[in-house]
Amino acid sequence: MTPVIFHTATTLNGFLADDADSLDWLFATPGADEAESDFSTFLETVGVLVMGSTTYNWVVEHEDLLSHPDRWTDIYGDRPTWVFTSRDLPRIEGADVRFVQGEVAPHWAGIRDAAGDRAVWIVGGGDLAGQFADADLLTEIRVSIAPATLPSGRPLLPRRIGPDRLRLEGMTRAGQFAELRYSVRPA
Ligand X SMILES: NC(=O)c1ccc[n+]([C@@H]2O[C@H](COP(=O)([O-])OP(=O)(O)OC[C@H]3O[C@@H](n4cnc5c(N)ncnc54)[C@H](OP(=O)(O)O)[C@@H]3O)[C@@H](O)[C@H]2O)c1
Which one among 34, 42, 54, 147 touches ligand X, defined by CB under 6 A?
Answer: 54
Q: Which stretch binds ligand X (CB under 6 A): 19-27, 63-71, 112-120, 175-183?
A: 19-27
**3-state secondary structure (DSSP) of residue 151:** coil
Q: Does 177 bind ligand X (CB under 6 A)?
A: no
Q: Does 176 bind ligand X (CB under 6 A)?
A: no
Q: Does 50 bind ligand X (CB under 6 A)?
A: no
Q: Which stretch binds ligand X (CB under 6 A): 46-54, 68-76, 110-118, 162-170?
A: 46-54
Cβ(69)–Cβ(93) under 8 Å? yes
Q: CB of 50: closest distance to ligand X in angstroms? A: 9
Which one among 33, 44, 67, 87 touches ligand X, defined by CB under 6 A?
Answer: 87
> Residue 49 and residue 134: Cα distance in Å, rounded?
18
> Residue 178 and residue 172: Cα distance in Å, rounded?
6
Residues 6+ apart with CB under 8 A from 77: 43
Q: How many CB atoms lie within 10 A of CB 43?
A: 16
| Identity of residue 100 | V
**3-state secondary structure (DSSP) of residue 38:** helix
Q: CB of 23: closest distance to ligand X in angstroms? A: 6
Q: Which stretch binds ligand X (CB under 6 A): 40-48, 49-57, 113-121, 160-168?
A: 49-57
Q: Does 32 bind ligand X (CB under 6 A)?
A: no
Please, is 111 exposed, middle or buried when counting C-beta atoms within 10 Å of its C-beta (0-12, 13-18, 19+)?
A: buried
Q: Does 9 bind ligand X (CB under 6 A)?
A: yes
Chain residues that interact with ligand X, rule: CB under 6 A: 8-10, 16-17, 21, 23, 26, 51-55, 58, 84-87, 101-102, 123-128, 131, 154
